[in-house]
Amino acid sequence: MTLATLAEVLQPALQGGYAVGGLVCLGWEDMRAYTMAAEAEDAPVILQAGPSCREHTPLPVLAKMFRYLGESVSVPVVAHLDHGYSADECRIALDCGFTSLMFDGSKKPLQENIDETAAIAELAHAAGISCEGEIGFVGYAGGAASAGTDPAEAAIFAKATKVDAMAISVGNVHLQQDHEGGLDEARIRAIEAVTDVPLVIHGGSGVPLAQRTALARGSKICKFNVGTELRMAFGTALRAAVDAEPTTFDRVAILKQTHDPVMAAARAAIRALKPTKAEEGVC
């Protein structure tokens, strides 16, 4: 069994100068490809069940899928609730067997966000699992605008909530389909100067690969969430399979054609965050 908590994979990353991929899952095909990619790269992976995933598949089913996959490989696998918006949802995930909860109170006033996140962190820690919180709002491509993280508020939030990881808003955007964005490194430096909590970037697909690698190896950012670029790899492969065999109606046969492209895309995302071979030898 290699199921792990978020803290168990992020603390070594913080000390070792690398980051871990939080890969956004939508179904069995992608989560299996992600797990096999992590095994092939000999790296930990965080399987994430976000709101759209949970709309399609109930949390108890997702928990069993994540745990089954975690038990099938030799690398650490975190079963992570992404963007939990209520205490009830977080409790259900905990009871089902998730090993990490992310409570998202980023749209709420600071004190309310602190109070509610702290309660979830206490709940998680009492059960022996981890909690991620978010300070500053990360917006959406073509949708709600971001509100950048204030370093002073980040310091208060980290200390008061006792979270194991803190998601920040530093120029990152959810659902961005290109890599032409870029993170505000001055703001990142200001935040990491006031806390030792591992930092998280949501909307990692929009961050240029070179910047992901540089920050993974040279900052307190220990987790990059990656979803859009992997969904695009899946969608491209699925369309190609359907177009190539228009008389095939067996969904299993069609979906199998997505495995290799999605696994390759996941390997690339994971590899960009790993330490160099020299660094691995030191750690």
**Which CATH number goes with the domain that contains 50?**
3.20.20.70
- Nearest-angstrom CA–CA distance, 176 and 124: 31
Task: Work out the average pLDDT over 187-193.
Answer: 96
Q: What is the mean pLDDT of residues 147-174?
A: 90
Q: Which of 2, 3, 48 lies closest to 26 in space, CA to CA?
A: 48
Boundaries of domain holding 221: 3-282
* pLDDT(177) > 70: no
The span from the CA of 35 to the CA of 23, in Å, is 10
> How many domains are there within the chain?
1
82 as an active site residue: the answer is yes
Provide the pLDDT for residue 142: 62
Q: 88: Cβ–Cβ under 8 A, 6 or more apart, which residues?
A: none
pTM over 0.75? The answer is: yes
> Length of the chain in residues, anyone?
283
Structure confidence at residue 283 as a pLDDT band (50, 70, 90): very low
Mean pLDDT of 149-169: 96
Mean residue pLDDT across the chain: 91
E strands along 71-179, which residues? Answer: 77-84, 100-103, 130-135, 165-168
Q: Confidence band (pLDDT; 50, 70, 90) for 138?
A: confident
The one catalytic residue in 30, 82, 104, 164 is 82
Q: Which residue has the tokens 């908590």?
A: 5
Q: State the Cα–Cα distance between residues 151 and 148, nearest whole angstrom.
A: 9
Which range (25-29, 154-158, 203-207) has the least confidence?
203-207
* pLDDT tens figures, 62-115: 999 999 999 999 999 999 999 999 999 999 999 999 999 999 999 999 999 999
The one-letter amino acid at 133: G
**Do residues 49 and 81 make contact, with C-beta atoms less than 8 angstroms apart?**
yes
Higher pLDDT, 19 or 245: 19
